[in-house]
């Protein structure tokens, strides 16, 4: 078995790209060589890795020569161009964009949920949307015990979902408002500081935005169940990093709350946080920088004997993007599906 792999990060200077770099070092991923790829304007920038400074180079076919693994987080339009080229040159691509998620030829993987699907890849493995990843890590352990019939979810999504510039925009808007100035919105359509609004992706004819439909369609694909009923409302909130979700689950038969707590308390990728006397439950501040999805406030739905309510928070950049991609790469290594 090969012990070192030639790895490239496409979109290395973005919020997720820099997190990918940190995670490869933290988790001691077996990379014998690491290339940092980005656009021409980012070429020459240097990023730290294992005590060294690595230079960013512009993405090109030559730069992809000999690469075993590409971790891509540069947006769908870039992935559509470069992922197939990387595959042609012998690499496996773990893509963080929406470009390939619903392609029936491309597995959509959350390692805690459907790790077996990674072996179906034909060169590309898709990373799900951040809100989908966080939700499924939190509810799949329950689904394994009793299949979920219906999911109703409301998300509270941080600025980090729109990248590093969006996070800076919210900081600057906060200062402007506190100084009595008019806040400027460039990344988002409206000021987000001290404000919130529905997710600003395009709406379909039924009034659901793209972000909401991602949760519906991706969950059905990952669960391999087109019959599961799902509805979502996605809201952007003035939190810098880490998304939150309020989730209502309906089962065929009642699910005992204490059993749900026991199941989630033992589940990989989940940390149960509940202090009912202190009214202390998961918060995005405490989820920031953490690998686990924080889950709590598990309670019986008083409107349905077969319903459960829960609340979760997870780091959108980490488990919602970069960590999930690195875990997929680790699955590929474990199954000896990288390199020649």
- Does residue 2 carry a pLDDT above 80? no
pLDDT classification of 1: cutoffs 50, 70, 90: very low
- Does residue 46 carry a pLDDT above 80? yes
pLDDT classification of 340: cutoffs 50, 70, 90: low
DSSP conformation letters of 83-140: HHHHHHTT-EEEE-SSSSTT-TTS-B--TTT-GGGGGG-SSEEEPPPHHHHHHHHHHH
The CATH architecture annotation of domain 5-127+321-335 reads 3-Layer(aba) Sandwich (3.40)
* Dihedral angle, C-alpha 134, 166, 193, 171, nearest 10 °: 110
Q: What is the pLDDT of residues 247-260, one digit of tens each?
A: 999 999 999 999 99
Q: How far apart are CA 41 and CA 106, in angstroms?
A: 31
Q: How far apart are CA 57 and CA 335, in angstroms?
A: 30
- Does residue 119 carry a pLDDT above 50? yes
Mean residue pLDDT of the chain comes to 96
pLDDT classification of 51: cutoffs 50, 70, 90: very high
pLDDT classification of 339: cutoffs 50, 70, 90: confident
List binding-site positions for phosphate: 101
- Does residue 273 carry a pLDDT above 70? yes
The pLDDT of 13-25, averaged and rounded, is 95
Give ranges for CATH 3.30.360.10 in the chain. 132-158+196-314
The pLDDT of 259-278, averaged and rounded, is 98
**CB of 205 closer than 8 Å to CB of 86:** no
Which residue do the tokens 């980012």 mark?
Answer: 42
Is 121 among the residues known to form the active site? Answer: no
Give ranges for CATH 3.40.50.720 in the chain. 5-127+321-335
Q: Which residue of the set 121, 234, 243, 313 is catalytic?
A: 243
pTM: 0.96
Domain 132-158+196-314 belongs in CATH node 3.30.360.10: yes
Is 243 among the residues known to form the active site? Answer: yes
Q: What is the pLDDT of residues 166-187, one digit of tens each?
A: 999 999 999 999 999 999 999 9
Q: Which residue of the set 121, 130, 199, 313 is catalytic?
A: 130
List binding-site positions for substrate: 157, 210, 236
């Amino acid at each position: 078995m090969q012990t070192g792999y030639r790895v490239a990060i496409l979109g290395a200077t973005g919020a997720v790209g820099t997190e990918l770099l940190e995670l490869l070092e933290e988790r001691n991923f077996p990379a014998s060589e690491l290339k940092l790829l980005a656009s021409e304007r980012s070429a020459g920038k240097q990023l730290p890795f294992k005590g060294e400074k690595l230079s960013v180079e512009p993405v090109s076919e030559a730069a992809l020569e000999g690469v075993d693994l590409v971790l891509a987080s540069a947006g769908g339009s870039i992935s559509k161009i470069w992922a197939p080229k990387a595959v042609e040159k012998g690499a496996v691509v773990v893509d963080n964009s929406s470009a390939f998620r619903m392609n029936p030829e491309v597995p959509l993987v959350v390692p805690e949920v459907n790790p077996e699907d990674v072996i179906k890849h034909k060169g590309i493995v898709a990373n799900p949307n951040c809100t989908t990843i966080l939700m499924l890590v939190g509810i799949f352990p329950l689904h394994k015990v009793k299949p979920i019939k219906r999911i109703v979810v409301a998300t509270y999504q941080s600025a980090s979902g729109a990248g590093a510039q969006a996070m800076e925009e919210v900081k600057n808007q906060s200062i402007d408002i506190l100084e009595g100035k008019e806040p400027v919105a460039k990344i988002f359509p409206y000021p987000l500081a001290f404000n919130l609004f529905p997710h600003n992706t395009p709406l379909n004819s039924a009034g659901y935005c793209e972000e909401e439909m991602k949760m519906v369609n991706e969950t059905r694909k990952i669960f391999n169940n087109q019959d599961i009923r799902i509805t979502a409302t996605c809201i952007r909130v003035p939190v810098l990093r880490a998304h939150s979700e309020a989730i209502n689950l309906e089962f065929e038969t009642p699910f005992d709350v204490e059993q749900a707590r026991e199941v989630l308390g033992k589940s990989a990728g989940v940390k149960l946080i509940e202090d009912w006397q202190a009214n202390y439950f998961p918060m995005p501040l405490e989820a920031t920088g953490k690998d686990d999805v924080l889950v709590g406030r598990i309670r019986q739905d008083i409107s349905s004997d077969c319903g459960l309510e829960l609340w979760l928070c997870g780091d959108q950049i980490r488990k919602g993007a970069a960590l999930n991609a690195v875990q997929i790469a680790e699955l590929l290594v474990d199954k000896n599906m990288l390199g020649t």
